[in-house]
Amino acid sequence: MAVNLHDAADLRAVPGVRIASAPAGIKQNLRDDLALFEFCPGTQIAGVYTQSHFAAAPVQLARQRQSTSRSWVVNSGNANAATGAPGLEDAHAVCRQVARLLDISEVQVQPFSTGVIGERLPVAQINGALEKAAAGLNEDGWLSAARAIMTTDTVVKGYSLQCELDGETITLTGIAKGSGMIKPDMATMLAYVACDAHVTYEAAQHLVSDAAMQSFNRITVDGDTSTNDCFMFAATGCADHQVINGREHPNYFVLLRALIELSRLLAQAIVRDGEGATKFVTICVRGGRSSDDCLSVAYTIAESPLVKTALFAGDANWGRFCMAIGRAPVPGLNPDKVQLFLDDVQVAEGGLMASDYTDARGSAVLAQDEFVITIDLGLGVSSETLWTTDLSYEYVRINAEYRS
Amino acid sequence: MAVNLHDAADLRAVPGVRIASAPAGIKQNLRDDLALFEFCPGTQIAGVYTQSHFAAAPVQLARQRQSTSRSWVVNSGNANAATGAPGLEDAHAVCRQVARLLDISEVQVQPFSTGVIGERLPVAQINGALEKAAAGLNEDGWLSAARAIMTTDTVVKGYSLQCELDGETITLTGIAKGSGMIKPDMATMLAYVACDAHVTYEAAQHLVSDAAMQSFNRITVDGDTSTNDCFMFAATGCADHQVINGREHPNYFVLLRALIELSRLLAQAIVRDGEGATKFVTICVRGGRSSDDCLSVAYTIAESPLVKTALFAGDANWGRFCMAIGRAPVPGLNPDKVQLFLDDVQVAEGGLMASDYTDARGSAVLAQDEFVITIDLGLGVSSETLWTTDLSYEYVRINAEYRS
């Protein structure tokens, strides 16, 4: 059902990163549901984490240990969220096992979980499977890790790309999972990106935050924010170039551009594999007085059930767009200045239907499985873009049947 | 499909109010789609109107003419919204015809429309049908008017009740329409309430605003706010009691209590007839530091697609509730203090599953077609209640097939 998305295939190894996965039987099936990452000494790690008040136990630990981290351990099938003090102890127990196996200290291990909320983690099973995983660590484990972290995903999500810093080729590889409960708030479901660039800890944090704002923080499937969202970035420093020590460094934007490109591919892959998605929709709002103006309108449209069902039906329904724009909290919005385009077809100008617009032209755009909705607010010069899906019967079926 | 709701039957006449309906053929069918209300001289009229930036042409006129109003003209089938200056002229033309027929001035006519957005009103058809309606005005027209204003409604919505002021029996009768695009913002889809109480213009405005805050402004079906929402209140003054001249008058709260009771019945009828609804759900959030705290959490739950699909499935899914509570914008929310109840079954305490909770007990509550979800935030003493529905396949079908 994913929109123009295929399983990841060739993922490049990143010097300094070893990975393994293993089956822990968390949901009683035999597939790999555990991934382990080990980074070489000197790696800088940064992340952005869910802003949910109910941030899961592993997220609380991962956030604390960012500056000391040398390892990630990720399980699917159980989110270890809303599990209180016992859940926190479970996360500690898993980290202790990783520390023992990799001969590092516990604060060098960041834990991550995704799956059902509110149930205890099967720690003994996980710790058993970790023995096997630790023995199998290797540089080519990205693809199997991408598979191990999936939940309702139907497609394995991962990309690699390269950029050049001081004549040195840098490799970036990233994997992600996520399909529903997707409106990341400062981060996304789960995404892991590593590269062999040489950056300081502060620069790593800037890079991951800046990239999140233009990728994972610009997607929504259903407006629901997970308790476990994390977007993690590791820079091993194995490449030989001048260290990037902050936003002012001339190579900062070279690396950021590559990181944004990779992060957008991963974020868009999550939307393409959105629960029940039949359309991949880009919403571009321009002419706002501020980024907030544009995001208010874009999210109101992207999360309106009436707009989403119209997109599913391929109904170029100007009425539902102006309903959604009309309720967006944008002070001073003036309907008489609003324009709407579906790809390059102008649907509305001056707040009402364009004189040469016909339903046939609008419907032809929406009959495609990918298109761009552009709204011009006519108030200023800001613009924002985000990516979303339609709302189909299949979304209801998946979520009426699956316990998240 | 409506949840425990039946067509209105006996609606009491209100002294001073004459009503008629007629078929104008706006959507090419033969049912009545036009309602006309005429009020006796001295009637005080007040309303609350949509806050949408795209407030429809009739809403703009109705808002201006509140203090001079003596008549309401309502059509279904076409919302006359997002129609710009031509739409405004159409609304004027209909009002002029009503003024001519009732021998009043145009500023004494308030127009209302509901139906498809973005299309021109068929003024000639409407004005023709108004001739017939004006000739048939009578005190017993409430039920046929309730039928004439329906769009995707499946049930005719109307109630009457009485209260006593200074020993005099006062009659309140109200009708409403609405089923989807329901998250009224200061008002609801369309609701009309009249009574024969004697109140000043200022008191009428306080009454309708105070009642809206405890009825129409506490419901949501899909979080989508219409361009045409209006909740109108008329007090004809035909009853013989001391005039109610403000919030301080001893009878103000007697009348307000009756108006709130009637408005809640109408508002809840809209939710019970919500598009695709299979459950009628009351969400009560208590223990907030402010009304805003409570409403943030209540609306986040009521509008979360993941919670709504779990309600449809009858899945007592603590994970999805804490996901939604976790993303609500409540400063200082502490998961360790949160409690959740389904009717009287405690699901969670201290932010995690209650020790004696079992899925069987939670599922038994959700198997009913009506139940109460109570969340205690443990932060303060405020509380708020709202009413909503689940999200079913039928919601998607209705909105993928109907053009609103």
Instruction: Give the residue from B306, B307, B338 with the most A CB atoms within 10 Å of its CB, the best one to mutate.
Output: B306
The whole-number pLDDT of residue B187 equals 46
- One-letter amino acid for residue A247 of the chain: R
The whole-number pLDDT of residue B259 equals 94
Q: Which residues of B144-164 are buried (b: 16+ CB within 10 A; e: fewer)?
A: bbbbbbbbbbebbbbbbbebe
Rounded to an integer, what is the distance from CA A286 to the centroid of its chain?
24
B353: nearest CB among A79, A118, A350: A118
Q: What is the 3-state secondary structure (H, E, C) of A139-206?
A: CCCHHHHHHHCCCCCCCCEEEEEEEEECCEEEEEEEEEECCCCECCCCCCCEEEEEECCCECHHHHHH
Looking at mean pLDDT, say which of A27-31, A161-165, A176-180, A352-356 comes out highest: A161-165
CB contact set of A49 (below 8 Å; sequence gap of 6+): A55, A59, A62, A63, A186, A187, A229, A230
Number of other residues whose CB lies within 10 A of the CB of residue A7: 13
List phi, psi (to 5°) of B204. Answer: -60, -40
Mean pLDDT of A73-87: 93
- Which of the two residues, B352 and B195, has the higher pLDDT score? B195
Tell me which chain A residues have a C-beta less than 8 angstroms from the C-beta of B320.
117, 404
List phi, psi (to 5°) of B192. Answer: -130, 120
B50 closest CA partner among B157, B187, B253: B187
Q: Which residues of A39-66 are buried (b: 16+ CB within 10 A; e: fewer)?
A: beeebbbbbbbbebbbbbbbbebbeebb
pLDDT tens-digit series, residues B92-128: 999 999 999 999 999 999 999 998 888 899 999 999 9
Q: Which residues of A274-285 are buried (b: 16+ CB within 10 A; e: fewer)?
A: bbbbbbbbbbbb
The whole-number pLDDT of residue A91 equals 97
Dihedral of the alpha carbons of A266, A267, A269, A274, in degrees to the nearest 10: 150
The whole-number pLDDT of residue B188 equals 47
Q: Above 80 in pLDDT, residue B250?
A: yes
Q: Above 50 in pLDDT, residue B153?
A: yes
| Burial (Cβ within 10 Å: 0-12, 13-18, ≥19) of residue B363 | middle
Sorted by where each begins, the domain ranges of chain A are 17-272, 280-401
Strands, E, within A63-167: which ranges? 71-78, 109-116, 157-165
Interface contact B3, partner A, CB < 8 A: no
Interface contact A193, partner B, CB < 8 A: no
Tell me whether residues B391 and A304 touch, CB distance under 8 A: no
Number of other residues whose CB lies within 10 A of the CB of residue A356: 9
Chain B: residue whose CA lies nearest to A222:
B305
Q: What is the nearest CA distance from B402 to chain A, expressed in angstroms?
A: 9
The whole-number pLDDT of residue B151 equals 86
Tell me whether residues A396 and B391 touch, CB distance under 8 A: yes
3-class DSSP state for residue B249? coil
The whole-number pLDDT of residue A179 equals 80
pTM, entire model: 0.83
Question: What is the rounded CA–CA span in Å between residue A266 and residue A280?
Answer: 14
Tell me whether residues B391 and A353 touch, CB distance under 8 A: no
Question: What is the rounded CA–CA span in Å between residue A368 and residue A381?
Answer: 29
Question: Which member of A83, A114, A171, A188 is catalytic?
Answer: A188
pLDDT confidence bin for A180, thresholds 50/70/90: confident
The whole-number pLDDT of residue B186 equals 43
The whole-number pLDDT of residue B1 equals 65
| Burial (Cβ within 10 Å: 0-12, 13-18, ≥19) of residue B90 | buried
Interface contact B285, partner A, CB < 8 A: no
The whole-number pLDDT of residue B53 equals 84
Look up residue B1 and give its two tokens.
């499909």
Please indicate whether residue B188 is annotated as part of the active site: yes
The whole-number pLDDT of residue B217 equals 86
Interface contact A311, partner B, CB < 8 A: no
Question: What is the rounded CA–CA span in Å between residue B335 and residue A47?
Answer: 23
B82: nearest CB among A116, A181, A318: A318
Question: What is the rounded CA–CA span in Å between residue A288 and residue A18?
Answer: 45
Per cent of chain B over pLDDT 90 is 70
Whole-angstrom distance between the N-terminal and C-terminal Cα of chain B?
20
pLDDT confidence bin for A404, thresholds 50/70/90: low
Q: Above 90 in pLDDT, residue A120?
A: yes
Question: What is the rounded CA–CA span in Å between residue A157 and residue A153?
Answer: 9
Q: At what angle do helices A291-303 and A305-313 cross, to 10 degrees?
A: 60
| Model ipTM value | 0.78
pLDDT tens-digit series, residues A139-153: 999 999 999 999 888
- Which of the two residues, B318 and A346, has the higher pLDDT score? A346
Interface contact B115, partner A, CB < 8 A: no
Tell me which chain B residues have a C-beta less than 8 angstroms from the C-beta of A395.
305, 309, 396
The whole-number pLDDT of residue B322 equals 87
CATH T-level fold of B17-272 = L-amino peptidase D-ALA esterase/amidase (3.60.70)
Mean pLDDT of B240-248: 94
Q: Write down the mean pLDDT value for chain B.
A: 91
Question: What residues of chain A, 26 to 45, have a C-beta less than 8 Å from chain B?
Answer: none
Chain B: residue whose CA lies nearest to A399:
B309
pLDDT confidence bin for A226, thresholds 50/70/90: confident
Q: Write down the mean pLDDT value for chain A.
A: 91
Length of chain A: 404
Mean pLDDT of A225-230: 80
Query: Superfamily assignment of A280-401 in CATH?
Result: ArgJ beta chain, C-terminal domain (3.10.20.340)
Look up residue A310 and give its two tokens.
């119209």
Q: What angle do CA A27, A28, A30 make, to 5 degrees?
A: 105
Interface contact A402, partner B, CB < 8 A: no
